[in-house]
Amino acid sequence: MTIAFLVALALVTQDSSLAVIPQPVRLTRTPGGGAFVLRAGAVIATDAATRDVGYALADYVAPATGYRLPVRATGGAISIRTDTSLARLGDEGYRLVVTPAGVTIRSFKPAGAFYAVQTLRQLLPPDIYRQARVDGVAWSIPAVTIEDYPRFAWRGAHLDVSRHFMPKEFVKKYIDLLALHKLNRFHWHLTDDQGWRIEILKYPRLTQVGAWRSETIVGRPDRSDSTKWLFDGRPHGGFYTQDDIREVVAYARARFVTVVPEIEMPGHSQAAIAAYPELGNTGSQIAVWTRWGVSPNILKPEDATIRFYQDILTEVMALFPGRWIHVGGDEADKEQWLALRGISPDSAAALQSWFIGQMDAFLTAHGRTLVGWDEILEGGLAPHAVVMSWRGTDGGIAAAQADHDVVMTPGSHTYFDHYETLDTAREPIAIGGYLPIDTVYSYEPVPDALTPAQARHVLGAQGQMWTEYIPDPKQAEYMVFPRLCALAEVVWTRSDRRNFADFRARLDTHLKRLAILDVNYRGRE
């Protein structure tokens, strides 16, 4: 390679004005094409279907530019419309053409137009993300033609708000960041042993009692020696009212994000049992858990428990209009079933399968689809269940081979609670593991073992943010970013368009955007 070629390559990859993440399917810069400069008074013209997307664009650019761009039905330098001839780009695809005269966005469905707007924001200078007016910036957008659509339908990010409660305002910021990266599923882990975070009107003690724990274990102690455990002595808790939930769901919907609520059962349920001891196997009053791990307290496998949880799901379905309801199913310690309820080890897996099967039938009857962690395969998979494969990829492979949809969530590539470096002494304490960003980036969601027909069951992939060691939003941002940027490219961009070195170069510019958005991302070594 000649020096001139290398210089040219460097200029291309460092062209920060085209630092779009995730990388579009087709992007051509018009040679000598100049740029469109956004000025006060530019009109955004939309059809009825994309009117809200037009308003979203106007809202996005208003703070930094100081321009309140009008949204109208006709005319205008910025044109946004749906176009039935673009069905080939799918429900989330778009075509974006920028010339010095204007911006044209066309898509089959409004979601595609929304993603075109996200791309447009990234073609503007990073200052466009400021929340106050920035003077002296030319709001210029390079002349380009882009055709773009996602590789996967499920492009998710998860957030555990049970181990540490995260305020509603942060949840909304998280959803904004998902939308910025063209992610479309927010998996909200709302219940666990350490806290119940969603108001259920029929069972008020779930939050009155279950949303609070007396204290929290300090650090990462030796599990085998409880005499050395330290607790902080400070109560921790919080929950979302049903009005809060509706607000978050509407916020997500406006950003084309479907919220997938998770209500854990039959394990990871100690907070619920603390609130209603009759849900447990011992009948005795227990406390919301104050440490981490797999709790021995599991729901009692009886019809009354099924009815109780179906009542909960009835309220959950009324709050979350999306198709998917996650019922957990992971790490259910069956010891109490064996010791206290006389269940044989052979029937324990079948009993968990019965429990999840009752929920599957109930959700299916209400037009919804059950999602569960890969343990729901044990003892037989419920007929309509979608599997999240977290203990590696075997569960996902087995489910897809059995004609079930799967979402790939393997700890090896998608667990953002793991350390990002081996030099852990210089990091805030984390649960363990090692997941550098290039490993995230290299992830291929479709396992080799699947035939093309089975591969179609892989809906996509998702990043996990478990919060045992994540006390607050700033630490969550530190763990999630920029690894989620890499995962966004895994699920959006075709594998032949993925290149880690090129991603790293674009990430330099992208991190400026995240900094302006007050995202506490983890910087480079």
- Rounded to a whole number of angstroms, the minimum distance from the CB of residue 487 to ligand TNX is 16
Q: Reply yes or no on whether 331 is catalytic.
A: yes
Q: Is residue 390 part of the contact set for ligand TNX (CB under 6 A)?
A: yes
* DSSP H helical ranges for 93-167: 110-123
405, 417, 477, 489: which one binds ligand TNX (CB under 6 A): 417
Query: Quick one: 148 or 264, whose CB is closer to ligand TNX?
Result: 264
Residue 385, phi then psi, degrees to nearest 5: -70, 145
From the centroid of its chain, how far is CA 281? 34
445-464: contacts with ligand TNX (CB under 6 A): none
Q: Is residue 373 part of the contact set for ligand TNX (CB under 6 A)?
A: yes
- Rounded to a whole number of angstroms, the minimum distance from the CB of residue 260 to ligand TNX is 14
Spell out a b/e string for 82-95, using b for 16 or more CB atoms within 10 Å of the CB, else e. bbeebeebbebbbb
217, 286, 431, 449: which one binds ligand TNX (CB under 6 A): 431
Q: Is residue 330 part of the contact set for ligand TNX (CB under 6 A)?
A: yes
- Rounded to a whole number of angstroms, the minimum distance from the CB of residue 171 to ligand TNX is 18
415, 419, 469, 503: which one binds ligand TNX (CB under 6 A): 415
- Quote the CA–CA distance of 437 and 435 in Å, as a whole number: 7
CB-count burial class (<10 Å; 0-12, 13-18, 19+) for 123: buried
Query: Quick one: 144 or 470, whose CB is closer to ligand TNX?
Result: 470
- Whose structure tokens read 């001891």? 277
Name every residue whose Cβ is closer than 8 Å to that of residue 239 and which is 6 or more positions away in sequence.
165, 195, 196, 197, 198, 199, 207, 211
CA atoms within 13 A on the CB side of 294: 11
- Which of 236, 268, 413, 418 is catalytic? The answer is 268
Q: Tell me if 21 sits within 8 A of 437, measured CB to CB.
A: no
Q: Is residue 420 part of the contact set for ligand TNX (CB under 6 A)?
A: no
Q: Is residue 466 part of the contact set for ligand TNX (CB under 6 A)?
A: yes
Please name which of 105, 116, 115, 55 lies closest in space to residue 82, comparing C-alpha atoms. Answer: 105
Query: Quick one: 373 or 521, whose CB is closer to ligand TNX?
Result: 373
- Rounded to a whole number of angstroms, the minimum distance from the CB of residue 149 to ligand TNX is 30
83, 244, 331, 333: which one binds ligand TNX (CB under 6 A): 331
- Which of 192, 193, 405, 468 is catalytic? The answer is 192
Q: Is residue 165 part of the contact set for ligand TNX (CB under 6 A)?
A: no
Residue 326, phi then psi, degrees to nearest 5: -95, 130
Q: Reply yes or no on whether 268 is catalytic.
A: yes
196-255: contacts with ligand TNX (CB under 6 A): none
Query: Quick one: 133 or 220, whose CB is closer to ligand TNX?
Result: 220
259-278: contacts with ligand TNX (CB under 6 A): none
Rg over alpha carbons for the chain, rounded to the nearest Å, is 24
- Rounded to a whole number of angstroms, the minimum distance from the CB of residue 294 to ligand TNX is 8
Q: Is residue 394 part of the contact set for ligand TNX (CB under 6 A)?
A: no
Q: Tell me if 352 sits within 8 A of 266, measured CB to CB.
A: yes
Query: Quick one: 76 or 445, whose CB is closer to ligand TNX?
Result: 445
What is the DSSP annotation of 478-523? HHHTTHHHHHHHHHHS-GGG--HHHHHHHHHHHHHHHHHTT-----
CB-count burial class (<10 Å; 0-12, 13-18, 19+) for 219: exposed
- Which of 52, 91, 331, 427 is catalytic? The answer is 331
Query: Quick one: 61 or 325, whose CB is closer to ligand TNX?
Result: 325
Omega within 30 of 0 (cis) for the link into 266:
yes
Query: Quick one: 164 or 498, whose CB is closer to ligand TNX?
Result: 164
Query: Quick one: 92 or 192, whose CB is closer to ligand TNX?
Result: 192
Name every residue whose Cβ is closer than 8 Å to that of residue 8 and which is 6 or more positions away in sequence.
none
- Rounded to a whole number of angstroms, the minimum distance from the CB of residue 435 to ligand TNX is 11
- Rounded to a whole number of angstroms, the minimum distance from the CB of residue 220 to ligand TNX is 12
Q: What is the CA angle 106-109-115, rounded to 5? A: 65
Please name which of 415, 382, 381 lies closest in space to residue 395, comparing C-alpha atoms. Answer: 381
- Rounded to a whole number of angstroms, the minimum distance from the CB of residue 159 to ligand TNX is 12
Size of the site for ligand TNX (CB under 6 A): 9
Q: Reply yes or no on whether 192 is catalytic.
A: yes
The contact set with ligand TNX (CB under 6 A) reads 330-331, 373, 390, 415, 417, 431, 466, 468
**Residues involved in catalysis:** 192, 268, 331
